[in-house]
A and B are shown apart, each in its own frame.
Chain A
């Protein structure tokens, strides 16, 4: 980044994740694959989730979109992979709360790690959906994966 704009939503952390996304690329094994789109801008993500013993064992994805949607999805995979499903869902709720805060919430780095960089994005309502695309896809896929495993074990 050569010409940083003061107060821009484009924090260095976001640009790093955008340029070098974590956990990107679709992988096996997985329990559920979902495809989510943002109808207002055409961004899309295909996401696979593997849940084993109530732990989010893997999340892999592919997609196209703006820096905010791609970086947010990358940060999300860091935050949920390896966590208990309940714990990961709680983190996702905290991120959702941050994104709906319109810039009024002081994010907790212990909980959201690199996700705190998105606090500024919450001041741009038109971009909040970008930041939530990957998270919503993950929540959807995880709910389906949990339902599937419950069915299989019962």
Chain B
């Protein structure tokens, strides 16, 4: 069903052919405000290659029907495609087929967990109450912060967090994770700072006290090889739209034995076994967590996106982005009045680079860059506590992906000089 890229993808050892990749993304050849588009906002949402759009279109035109419901041919083909998509996505992160739950996005994945924990019977390993603690970090995206605040408010549990160092790293001080900690939820790669966190160390501390670990992998799964077994976390969430797939489909992965014990979040069709007027019993995972008609064609498209990235190679993507990020950091260092918010070295860092231009508000930086065709994100990036921590109202963020070029980084650097002159 998904396009084969063997004719185009680069075998290990040959140069990365970014121009060939760019030809798969039609939008990259358009102009904005009379200038070639320079899209450096993939941490917010990525563009979609022709192969992903073709896979979704072919599925809808030839095989579409509701899934898990009918006996007719289309129903069977659609169900097969949906479950094949689950298998592809599972393989992409080194997971078992039945441990992958399709959701709407990371926000829904985390809420699913937080509400399911809240629905757990007293005494269950998921149940929380007064005296229990949930640990997050100060660099969480709101999607991995607010659901835990709400769970703590509902259950009387206490929310604690690891703070940040001045250079944009987690301050993994002792005493945050304690014997009372039940859940440790943290971001793999910060969408604002670009920091890649030490998953192994945090998991080690969580395991010492028997706490469950939840990893927000929204910014890591699209950009680097991620294997849930190697990471050794209990739950992991990511979203399709940052990974070359359409918006509307996300993933929650959980350890099979945990998902098996976890009560449902939403009730309705598809998630049931036996329904009577007074009570119902629930299907095993993953269906237990997919109430209602799921996102069908978007899941198929997500699998095609995983295939596309696998064909290019996540190692190659990561190496390409690292070269672009190093070039950007180096260039920013040479511009007076520019301050990077986040790690200023390539050690344990991804491609999201936040910065402030002295004396120019990020909204004005972003608007002036848009005037010359450059798309960056401005604001608090759904991580308001982080900008507050670094004493700025907002930042400008440039984030690259597999389709960006060194020349585009140079256009951005020139653009920042232009912004400085305009606002001088």
Residues of A within 8 A of B (CB): 1-3, 5, 8-10, 40-44, 64-68, 124, 127, 130
Contact call A42/B424, Cβ cutoff below 8 A: no
Choose from B380, B394, B424 the contact partner of A2 (Cβ within 8 Å): B424
Contact call B367/A3, Cβ cutoff below 8 A: no
B418 on the interface (CB 8 Å rule)?
A: yes
- Known A-B contacts A65-B393, A66-B361; A2 and B421 likewise in contact (beta carbons under 8 Å): yes
What total of chain B residues lie within 8 Å of the partner, measured CB to CB?
Answer: 19
Residues of chain B within 8 A (CB-CB) of A66 are 361-364
Residues of chain A within 8 A (CB-CB) of B364 are 10, 66-68
Residues of chain A within 8 A (CB-CB) of B387 are 42
Mask of B352-364 contacts with A, CB within 8 angstroms, 1/0:
0000000001111
Choose from B363, B371, B372, B384 the contact partner of A130 (Cβ within 8 Å): B363
5 contacts between A and B (CB under 8 A): A1-B422, A42-B394, A44-B393, A66-B364, A130-B363
Contact call B418/A127, Cβ cutoff below 8 A: no
Residues of chain B within 8 A (CB-CB) of A2 are 421-422, 424
Q: Tell me the complex Cα distance, A10–B364, Å.
A: 9
Q: Tell me the complex Cα distance, A1–B421, Å.
A: 8
Contact call A3/B421, Cβ cutoff below 8 A: yes
- Tell me, rounded to whole Å, the shortest Cβ–Cβ distance linking A18 to chain B: 9
Among residues of A, the one whose C-beta sits closest to the C-beta of B392 is A42
Among residues of B, the one whose C-beta sits closest to the C-beta of A1 is B422
Given contacts A41-B380, A41-B394, A65-B361, 20 further A-B contacts (CB under 8 A): A2-B421, A2-B424, A5-B371, A8-B371, A10-B422, A40-B379, A41-B362, A41-B363, A41-B393, A42-B380, A42-B394, A43-B363, A43-B393, A64-B361, A65-B393, A66-B362, A66-B363, A67-B361, A67-B364, A127-B363
- Tell me, rounded to whole Å, the shortest Cβ–Cβ distance linking B261 to chain A: 38
Beta-carbon contacts under 8 Å, B121-174 to A: none
Residues of chain A within 8 A (CB-CB) of B380 are 41-42
Residues of chain A within 8 A (CB-CB) of B378 are 41
Choose from B368, B393, B418, B421 the contact partner of A42 (Cβ within 8 Å): B393
Smallest CB-CB A-B distances: 6 pairs: A66-B363, A66-B361, A42-B393, A5-B371, A42-B394, A41-B379
Q: Tell me the complex Cα distance, A42–B395, Å.
A: 10
Beta-carbon contacts under 8 Å, B378-424 to A: 378-380, 384, 387, 393-394, 418, 421-422, 424
Q: Tell me the complex Cα distance, A5–B418, Å.
A: 11
Q: Tell me the complex Cα distance, A3–B372, Å.
A: 12
Q: Tell me the complex Cα distance, A3–B417, Å.
A: 12
Q: Tell me the complex Cα distance, A9–B380, Å.
A: 22
- Tell me, rounded to whole Å, the shortest Cβ–Cβ distance linking B381 to chain A: 10
Contact call A64/B393, Cβ cutoff below 8 A: yes
- Tell me, rounded to whole Å, the shortest Cβ–Cβ distance linking A101 to chain B: 19
Residues of chain B within 8 A (CB-CB) of A10 are 364, 367-368, 422
- Tell me, rounded to whole Å, the shortest Cβ–Cβ distance linking A125 to chain B: 13
